[in-house]
Amino acid sequence: MSKKAFIFDLDGVIVDTAKYHYKAWKKLANDLGFDFTETQNELLKGVSRVRSLEILLEIGNVSLPEGEKTKIMQDKNEHYLQYITKMGQEEILEGMYKVLLYLKKNNIPFSLGSASKNARLILTQLDLIDLFDAIVDGNDVSKAKPDPEVFLIAAQKLNANPKDCIVIEDAIAGVEAANIAGMTSIGIGDKKALNAADINLDSTAELTIDMIKELIKN
Ligand code: B16
Ligand code: MG
């Protein structure tokens, strides 16, 4: 039996930053003269910043020159960072701190595998950054999920075989990326939307230590 390794997505798995992304994208949409709903925000989960802006502009039926897009993405990020810099450990999603500590104590390697370019800052805010054996985020990849690049780099950094990696994801594109990488995928959230996952859980609270023990055994 070869050694298992875990790869965690960030937004929607370790912390709910989607609500802050939403506030910042909504302000941008409103400034451009259209509304942006929470339902529409679902489309941005797990998607890169550039792709998020494209989707938002499609929703508002707005087209902008490239230079302007860069500028408003910077503005959006600055607004988003105002929320992020106020975050603390109390925002870690239910059960996740316990899971990370269990893995650490038992010498089971784990990495972050996130699309966010702010991932290191967020993990620092949550006081989790030193727990991770590796961090792969939006700054380290050239292709966004569902491309498996982010997870394959994470496996490499952990010295793990992709087939021994277990990915925890909340986004359809993330589950797809894990499957393409040949890893075990655990989907957190809507079972219908994430039906491609090997294992489905309603929330992070269901990712128990007993389940982790089972996953390590198999
Ligand atoms: P940033 P994840 C993703 O994080 C978010 O789900 C997605 O909504 C966001 O657009 C993306 O990060 C990029 O974030 O603007 O901080 O670089 O789920 O892959 O951890
Ligand atoms: Mg996510």
Residue nearest to atom 6 of ligand 1 (CA): 46
Considering the domain architecture, whether residues 95 and 203 belong to the same structural domain is answered as: yes
Average pLDDT, the chain: 97
Residue 25 pLDDT exceeds 90: yes
Read off the pLDDT of each residue in 40-56 and give the average, rounded to a whole number.
94
Residue 63 pLDDT exceeds 80: yes
- Which of 71, 77, 185 has the alpha carbon at shortest distance from 122? 77
Q: What are phi and psi of 132, to 5 degrees?
A: -75, 135
How many CB atoms lie under 10 A from the CB of residue 199?
A: 16
- Residues 133 and 139: their CA atoms lie apart, in Å, by 17
Residue 2 pLDDT exceeds 80: no
Considering the domain architecture, whether residues 160 and 104 belong to the same structural domain is answered as: yes
Read off the pLDDT of each residue in 195-205 and give the average, rounded to a whole number.
98
Is 130 a known active-site residue? no
- Residues 136 and 89: their CA atoms lie apart, in Å, by 21
Domain boundary residue, one of 84, 107, 141:
84
Helix, strand, or coil (residue 62): coil
Residue nearest to atom 5 of ligand 1 (CA): 46
Its domain, for residue 72, covers 18-84
Confidence of residue 1 (pLDDT cuts 50, 70, 90): low
